[in-house]
């Protein structure tokens, strides 16, 4: 039998913590002509399985040496290198006290963020990106700490230092590593770089020394030939997929994500500060309850995605025999040589880039009974077929595939802005045309059992929307602020915001942001469904009551129309009180209340709220809510569809940010308006207009009458209108109504209106 024939003599001349190097280091051979050998760490959690605490302790020891050497810790930026050092760098950062931030280089590409690009010349994957845009200290602090598992020439570090110096010149860089093999000759070159860049470059390490590596190239070829022959052996191929393997798919919620793909925010690739680090630990502690460990268990990270899987493993370490390591891009040759660390190798495509080859080592040489495989991004189930086939060749009986990305995109809002208590029915329902739906509704089918084809606006209409948003943004900011001041003046500050999907959602988000910006109140905000004649989603409300038993619940919507939803909410709150033995206030906080149905309004005037113009494209790309027995179960939330095909037309966050930017300039105006407020009367002025329209135009069903700018817009977009009634044909604030009516050939008629500027009347399909 052929074995790899190589020799590596290692001499350690500095060992500051008096550690035994045999506990930390082995040597392997790899398929990389630039550098034939690879130092394999026993405690890094990359190529070999080890205890998660051992991995974390590496960072802890390096941070300790650094802190003792730099007693005046003023803070700075910690940077580690993909892929092997992402975990150890994050641990170093975690154990440093002071104002530090962390980032690791990445080979992933993220559109829209600037990066420093540099090379790791000896690597199998040379290109690195450093997405520094979200960092604060790198610009303001004097020191940068670079972390890698081993330093040989320091060329990669020097390449990065030069890039940083070009943008943010520093006084000092500290290069930290487990192993430091920098020769005297390379150190002299580094001293030259110090002079060139006018900075200090220092070193921290656990082991400092030198080595001499030699190998018989013929032994590499003979070993590879033997391995290829074995893989083609028919008997071995028949045994490849033999073991029964239980497969489980688990989703953990990491709270915040980056980019369209949904990268986890807290990995370090996009920058992490100390507050975010604490939040990450809380998330891991919370989500780890979803992982049930039994027997000897392997936690397996993937490529750069190492630190978060290690934290999960560490969280479970006290419950059993838990080990940790990761897949890698690094191609190492396996060998049967007794003193050789890599005994077996499996090859698979990357979960993040199908063109990239990954490897996982030694998993068939262990006696693990279970594995938790962590992936950062969502994949289709068929993307796991390779890894499943690999695990069938091991002793492992259960494979748990843990996805740390969002289960599925549902809304385009920031995750902190709102929690949607809605069931995603995107794949369960099809949109129907307005005429088709209208006939069904008027023949007795409930409107909530269907959703319309989402209206896609013309360029003329969109231009008008932008114009109206710009014209009304300060007024909208004032109305939001005044509504919020009334909410906290009435309810105090222990409040949960519950917006009514979907028109209430952007208003609820703006309310949350106003209260955070002005009073540093970080209120929880949920969106729930309420449906005329069917009531509020009781499952969603049960969830809110359970999680906020002592808080006051404040319901929020966009506007009041003719008060239908206000009345529905009155009935719902009576039922909520009966079910949960808790007081519920049905007063609906709204931006505009022209009909006089609420005491918590921003303005009591019928004016254009631009979010009424665009429907889903200004509401997080969410449909109106659905309650249909064939897709909504007894314990489900009400449903909604996510219009992913409209992403390139989405205006949701632009709408929020445009109005939010005007909050501060409205504070004085808001304060002047709220100073003597106690509580406004509910006048129900809109009832008179609705009654007069019903009588004057012989409208047989009151539900065909949709008063107010918001409701009239909805009629034109998703119903079949008979006519549009306006107070004044020359009202410039109704331009979008006139454009839509013209596009749809709908009659616009001037009539006597009191509370409302306009009203949409739905066509009776019996007249069609």
Which DSSP string corresponds to 381-409?
A: GGGGHHHHHHHTTSS--EEEEEE-S-SS-
297-322 residue pLDDT tens = 999 999 999 999 999 999 999 888 99
342: helix, coil or strand? coil
The pLDDT score that the predictor gives to residue 238 is 46
**Would you kindly state where each structural domain of the chain is located, as residue ranges?**
6-237, 246-403, 419-674, 686-767
Q: Are 288 and 281 in contact (CB under 8 A)?
A: no
Count CA within 13 A, CB hemisphere, residue 449: 13
Q: How many CB atoms lie within 10 A of CB 345?
A: 18
Q: Give the pLDDT confidence score for residue 561 in this predicted structure.
A: 87
Q: Tell me whether the CATH fold assigned to 6-237 matches the one assigned to 686-767.
A: no
Q: Are strands 116-119 and 127-130 parallel, antiparallel or unpaired?
A: antiparallel
Beta strands in 239-336 (DSSP E): 246-251, 257-258, 263-264, 272-273, 297-301, 322-326
The per-residue pLDDT for 655 is 96
Helix 86-95 and helix 307-316: axis angle, to 10°? 70
DSSP character at residue 534? T
Say how far apart CA 102 and CA 277 lie, in whole Å.
9
Counting every residue written for the chain, the total comes to 768
Phi and psi at 505, nearest 5°, equal: -65, -55
What CA–CA distance (Å, rounded) separates 10 from 208?
A: 10
| CA atoms of 621 and 650, how far apart (whole Å) | 7
Class of domain 686-767: alpha beta
Quick one: fold of 6-237? Rossmann fold (3.40.50)
Alpha helices in 583-681 (DSSP H): 611-614, 652-660, 667-674
CA distance 318 to 315: 7
Q: What is the DSSP letter of 370?
A: E
State residue 623's pLDDT score.
92
Collapsing DSSP to helix, strand or coil, 200 comes out as: strand
Classify residue 385 as exposed, middle or buried by CB count within 10 Å of its CB (0-12, 13-18, 19+): exposed
Q: Among 632, 626, 589, which residue's Cα sits nearest to residue 498?
A: 589
First vs last C-alpha separation in the chain: 88
Angle of helix 307-316 relative to helix 274-287, nearest 10 degrees, comes to 50
Give the count of alpha carbons within 13 A of 326, CB side only.
32
Fold of 246-403: Rossmann fold (3.40.50)
pLDDT at res. 379: 80
Angle at which helix 52-69 crosses helix 307-316, to 10 degrees, equals 110
In 3D space, the residue among 235, 243, 184, 284 whose CA is nearest the CA of residue 369 turns out to be 243
DSSP three-state, residue 675: coil
Dihedral sign, CA of 491, 494, 497, 498?
Answer: negative
* Digit-coded pLDDT (tens) for 537-592: 998 998 899 778 899 999 999 999 899 999 999 999 999 999 999 999 999 999 99
Q: What is the per-residue pLDDT for 517? A: 96
**pLDDT number for residue 176:** 98
pLDDT < 70 positions in the chain? 1-3, 109-115, 117-127, 217, 219-242, 259-261, 406-408, 767-768
Query: What is the phi/psi pair of residue 37, to 5°?
Result: -110, 165
């Amino acid at each position: 039998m052929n074995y790899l024939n190589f020799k590596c003599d290692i001499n350690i001349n500095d060992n500051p913590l008096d550690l035994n190097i045999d506990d930390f280091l082995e040597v392997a051979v790899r398929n990389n002509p630039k550098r034939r050998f690879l130092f394999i760490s026993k405690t890094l959690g990359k190529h070999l399985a080890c205890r998660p605490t051992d991995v974390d302790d590496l960072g802890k020891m390096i941070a300790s040496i650094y802190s003792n050497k730099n007693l005046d810790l003023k803070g700075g930026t910690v940077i580690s290198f993909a892929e092997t050092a992402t975990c150890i760098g994050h641990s170093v950062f975690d154990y440093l006290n002071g104002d530090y931030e962390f980032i690791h280089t990445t080979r992933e590409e993220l559109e829209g963020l600037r990066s420093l690009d540099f090379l790791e010349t000896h690597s199998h994957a040379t290109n690195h990106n450093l997405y520094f845009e979200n960092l604060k200290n790198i610009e303001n602090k004097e020191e940068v700490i670079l972390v890698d598992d081993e330093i040989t020439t320091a060329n990669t570090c020097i390449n990065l230092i030069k890039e940083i110096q070009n943008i943010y010149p520093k006084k000092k860089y500290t290069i930290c590593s487990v192993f430091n093999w920098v020769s005297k000759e390379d150190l002299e070159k580094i001293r030259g770089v110090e002079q060139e860049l006018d900075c200090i470059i220092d070193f921290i390490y656990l082991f400092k020394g030198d080595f001499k590596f030699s190998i018989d190239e013929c032994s590499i070829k003979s070993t590879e030939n033997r391995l290829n022959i074995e893989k083609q052996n028919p008997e071995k191929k028949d045994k490849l997929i033999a073991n029964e393997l239980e497969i489980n798919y688990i989703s953990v919620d990491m709270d915040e994500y980056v980019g369209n793909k949904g990268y986890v925010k807290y990995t370090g690739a996009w920058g992490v500060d100390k507050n975010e680090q604490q939040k990450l630990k809380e998330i891991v502690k919370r989500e780890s309850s979803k992982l049930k460990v039994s027997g000897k268990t392997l936690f397996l990270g993937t490529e750069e995605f190492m630190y978060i899987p290690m934290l999960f493993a560490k969280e479970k370490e006290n419950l059993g025999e838990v080990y940790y390591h990761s897949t890698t891009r690094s191609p190492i040759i396996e060998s049967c040589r007794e003193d050789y660390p890599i005994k077996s190798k499996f090859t698979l495509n990357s979960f993040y880039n199908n063109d990239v080859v990954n490897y996982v080592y030694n998993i068939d040489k262990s006696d693990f009974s279970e594995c938790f495989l962590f992936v950062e991004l969502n994949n289709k189930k068929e993307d796991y077929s390779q890894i499943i086939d690999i695990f069938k060749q091991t002793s492992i009986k259960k494979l748990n595939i843990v996805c740390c990305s969002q289960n599925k995109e549902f809304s385009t809002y920031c995750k902190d802005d709102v929690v949607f208590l809605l069931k995603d029915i995107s794949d369960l329902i099809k949109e129907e045309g307005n005429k088709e739906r209208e006939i069904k509704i008027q023949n007795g089918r409930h409107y909530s059992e269907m959703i319309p084809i989402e209206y896609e606006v013309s360029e003329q209409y969109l231009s008008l929307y932008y114009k109206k948003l710009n014209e009304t943004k300060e007024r909208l900011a004032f109305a939001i602020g005044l509504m919020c001041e009334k909410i906290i003046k009435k309810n105090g500050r222990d409040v949960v915001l519950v917006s009514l999907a979907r028109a209430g959602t952007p208003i609820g988000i703006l309310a949350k942001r106003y209260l955070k910006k002005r009073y540093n109140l970080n209120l929880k905000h949920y969106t729930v469904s309420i449906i005329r004649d069917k009531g509020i989603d009781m499952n969603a409300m049960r969830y809110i009551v359970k999680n906020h038993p002592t808080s006051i619940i404040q319901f929020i919507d966009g506007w009041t129309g003719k008060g239908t939803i206000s009345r529905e909410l009155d009935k719902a709150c009576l039922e909520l009180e009966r079910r949960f033995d808790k007081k519920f206030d049905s007063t609906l906080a709204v931006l505009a209340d022209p009909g006089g149905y609420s005491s918590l309004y921003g303005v009591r005037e019928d004016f254009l709220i631009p979010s009424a113009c665009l429907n889903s494209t200004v509401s997080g790309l969410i449909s109106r809510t659905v309650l249909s027995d064939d897709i909504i179960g007894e314990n489900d939330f009400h449903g909604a569809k996510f219009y992913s095909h409209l992403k390139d037309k989405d205006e949701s966050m632009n709408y929020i940010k445009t109005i939010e930017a005007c909050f501060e300039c409205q504070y004085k105006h808001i304060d002047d308006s709220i100073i003597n407020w106690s509580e406004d009367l509910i006048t129900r002025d809109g009832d008179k207009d609705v009654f007069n329209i019903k009588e004057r135009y012989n409208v047989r069903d009151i539900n065909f009458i949709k008063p107010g700018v918001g409701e009239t817009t909805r009629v034109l977009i998703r119903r079949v209108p008979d006519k549009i009634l306006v107070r004044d044909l020359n009202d410039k604030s109704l331009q979008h109504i006139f454009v839509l009516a013209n596009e749809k050939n709908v009659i616009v008629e001037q009539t006597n209106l009191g509370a409302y500027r306009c009203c949409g009347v739905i066509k009776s399909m019996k007249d069609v």
